[in-house]
Amino acid sequence: MGFKNVCFDCKKAFNQGTDLNNIGESKCPDCGKLMKQITHRFRPPKQKDKKKWEVAKFLMERGFLYEHVYERIYEVRGITVLANYATYPENMRDAKEFVEKYKSQAETE
């Protein structure tokens, strides 16, 4: 497990590794802009697949950093139960629905 640094301008992702003491902000080696750090669960699209990169950027800008999102969250006797991982969308139409449906699970800064 580890993290990835992603540059949406260059459409590239770089594995950062698992040394949590050395994780920090990184600049893209190609364009020099600050990259977005996300979980290892993110599977970057091919560099030429611009539509999938747009979807990933759209999701991340709205707080979905490829952490687990749950399809159902409910309570049983005061205990919160999380059930079934939701699948991250690959097209913009599904991404908009995903954001609306799971907005309560988005990360806010």
Per DSSP, the three-state class of 53 is: helix
Residues 20 and 55 in one domain: no
Residues 40 and 57 in one domain: no
Full residue range of the structural domain in which residue 28 is found = 1-44
Least confident of 5-9, 49-53, 81-85, 104-108: 81-85
Straight-line distance from the first to the last Cα atom of the chain, in angstroms, rounded to the nearest whole number: 23
Give Cα 96 to chain centroid, integer Å: 14
Contact indicator for 85, 69 with CB cutoff of 8 Å:
yes
At residue 94, what is the residue type? D
Res 87: pLDDT: 93
Per-residue confidence at 102, pLDDT binned at 50, 70, 90?
very high
Mean pLDDT of 59-84: 86
Residues 71 and 52 in one domain: yes
Residues 7 and 31 in one domain: yes
Measured N-to-C along each axis, helices 92-101 and 50-61 cross at an angle, to the nearest 10 degrees, of 20
The token pair that represents 67 in the structure block: 């952490």
Residues 36 and 11 in one domain: yes
Residues contacting residue 97 through CB under 8 Å, at least 6 positions apart: 89
The number of folded domains in the chain is 2
